[in-house]
């Protein structure tokens, strides 16, 4: 599903953000990508989302080598990915429903079908009663739920989330992780970038750790009750 082979990312000023990173994520797996600030987590997220390209090495998603993709093919790749950014990238001049409808409109779905799918996505994240609300009126946790609904409305096989629980209280963070677990349980592959790999009880994601641009694999993350599954 996702394979990285000896991926290196070097920026023009000479900083090497990633150094020979290799890993594989299988279909339907949940993986946490963690590490210290500056470890290279966000750089790797950008490479997986085809926002940037590696200096060397390869990233293959669903059989497609991202380095070989033409620029005009990248938007089509991203429609198959559920991307959740750290800053959420919500449209604050549009209500909740319109935020979720946007990816469907870009993909050219008929209005009636788009409405049905957007409402279903909002129901999955518990925002079915907030359709006409502007994002500014939502709590931080609700805004994150909205970002998730928009990311999954195209029914992606892979979700990539960059720090989806950042700046949330513990209870809201656990609720967000439970939403991701629900998607993973129906076969969606989930990669969560996080500086704090804390899991709800019973969740057993694999943990990949970046340290100074290099990859190591860790035991499963500790659960919210402090117990390592």
Residue 226 pLDDT class (50, 70, 90 cuts): very low
Every domain of the chain and the residues it spans: 88-155
Does 229 have pLDDT greater than 70? no
Average pLDDT over residues 131-159: 95
- pTM (2 d.p.): 0.90
- Under a CB-based contact definition with an 8 Å cutoff, are residues 53 and 7 in contact? no
CA-CA distance, 5 to 22, in Å (whole number)? 4
CA-CA distance, 181 to 188, in Å (whole number)? 9
Phi and psi based region of residue 169 (left: phi greater than 0; alpha: psi -120 to 50; beta: remaining): beta
**pLDDT digit string (tens) for 1-11?**
899 999 999 99
CA-CA distance, 168 to 146, in Å (whole number)? 14
pLDDT in the model for residue 220: 64
- Residue bearing the bigger pLDDT, 130 or 170: 130
Percent of the residues in the chain that have a pLDDT greater than 70, as a whole number: 94
Does 222 have pLDDT greater than 70? no
Does 28 have pLDDT greater than 80? yes
What are 23's strand-pairing partners? 4
């Amino acid at each position: 599903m996702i394979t990285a082979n000896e991926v290196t990312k070097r920026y023009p000023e000479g900083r090497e953000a990633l150094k020979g990173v290799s890993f594989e994520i299988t279909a339907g797996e949940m993986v946490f990508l963690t590490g210290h600030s500056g470890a290279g987590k966000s750089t790797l997220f950008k490479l997986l989302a085809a926002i940037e390209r590696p200096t060397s090495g390869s990233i293959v998603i669903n059989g497609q080598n991202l380095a070989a993709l033409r620029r005009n093919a990248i938007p089509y790749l991203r429609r198959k990915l559920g991307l959740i950014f750290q800053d959420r990238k919500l449209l604050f001049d549009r209500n909740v429903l319109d935020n979720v409808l946007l990816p469907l409109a870009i993909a050219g779905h008929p209005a009636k079908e788009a409405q049905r799918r957007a409402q279903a996505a909002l129901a999955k994240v518990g925002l079915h009663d907030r359709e006409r609300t502007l994002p500014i009126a939502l709590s931080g946790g609700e805004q994150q739920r909205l970002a998730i609904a928009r990311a999954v409305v195209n029914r992606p096989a892979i979700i990539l989330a960059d720090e989806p629980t950042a700046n949330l209280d513990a209870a809201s963070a656990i609720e967000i992780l439970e939403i991701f677990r629900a998607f993973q349980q129906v076969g969606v592959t989930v990669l969560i970038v996080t500086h704090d790999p804390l899991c709800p009880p019973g969740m057993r994601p694999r943990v990949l750790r970046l340290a100074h641009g290099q990859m190591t694999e860790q035991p499963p993350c500790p659960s919210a009750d402090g117990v390592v599954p």
